[in-house]
Chains A and B, each alone.
Chain A
Amino acid sequence: MTARDEMAARFAAADPDAIRDLYVQYSGPVTTVAASILRDPQLAQDAVQQTFLNAWRGAHSFDPSRDIAPWLYAIARRAAIDIHRAEQRRRTEGGHDLDVAVTPLAFDRTWEAWEVRRALGELPDDEREIVRLAHFEGRTHSEIAALTGIALGTVKSRSHRAHKRLAHALRHLVDTENVS
């Protein structure tokens, strides 16, 4: 039994301590889903908290022999959508125009975002940072080398390894052209 399997089993047994392990493992992907749907940092935080509370309250319905990620993803997505709708109602009832971003990232793409976040979480810190600088900040390898003080060749090799790991971890998305 892997550590992740053990955590899932403890969680299914409604062990409160397992929620902390679950949070360490999955707060990143849950935050990504919440932020993708809600686009409001405060609402997204509420959705993250509600996700883990709902998960714990529904732990009895989780089958520990299965991967916990899709189950938790569904709870996260539902929590974010519920908060989104409640916020829409609140604003409508208050007579204000809706100015909440409705679906900046379509709901059917939140699973892909979840999986990308999970894959990034599996990278070593130094490789993940290079991916972040390259894709999120749009920096070149030369710029990353200058910024971090790491030799250009090392930056390139870490970037290569990181992208290979990502391609492997996300092959189920890429192969089926689900990332579209």
Chain B
Amino acid sequence: MRYNEKELQALSRQPAEMAAELGMRGPKKGSVVKRRLVKLVANFLFYFRTDEAEPIGALLLEHCRITREEPSGFSISFVEDIERKYRFECCSEEQCQEWISALRRASYEFMRRSLVFYRNEIQKMTGKDPLEQLGISEEARFQLSSLKA
């Protein structure tokens, strides 16, 4: 699959939802914990060497699972191989919680579900479709029917 690295690098320079130096260990056997700058931008998690401007890698946060890992860390794995984990170590319980909740909200699919939920609730309460009032009720990405239960 072809993708443009420069495009992703440009995205990694955008303001982050969350950014911190964390311990990170890749999913490969025998990999060790390394200090990385980890940056959440839109639905991508970028990781950098602490002395470099360009990221070493990016994780697309769609269809992923965020798991709390003891003592104070979390892991990210993806549905096609849930055992293959990227592990992160935080410096406190609090920081860990912050990352977990930010990462769980970071997917586009999650945003879409939230939108459909709000749209439904508002319609139930007020009898009006809020998106119709915004003039965007026809957009495919906001349709209730496009979501599978």
> Are the chains A and B members of one assembly?
no
User: Which residues of A are in contact with B by a Cβ distance under 8 Å?
Assistant: none
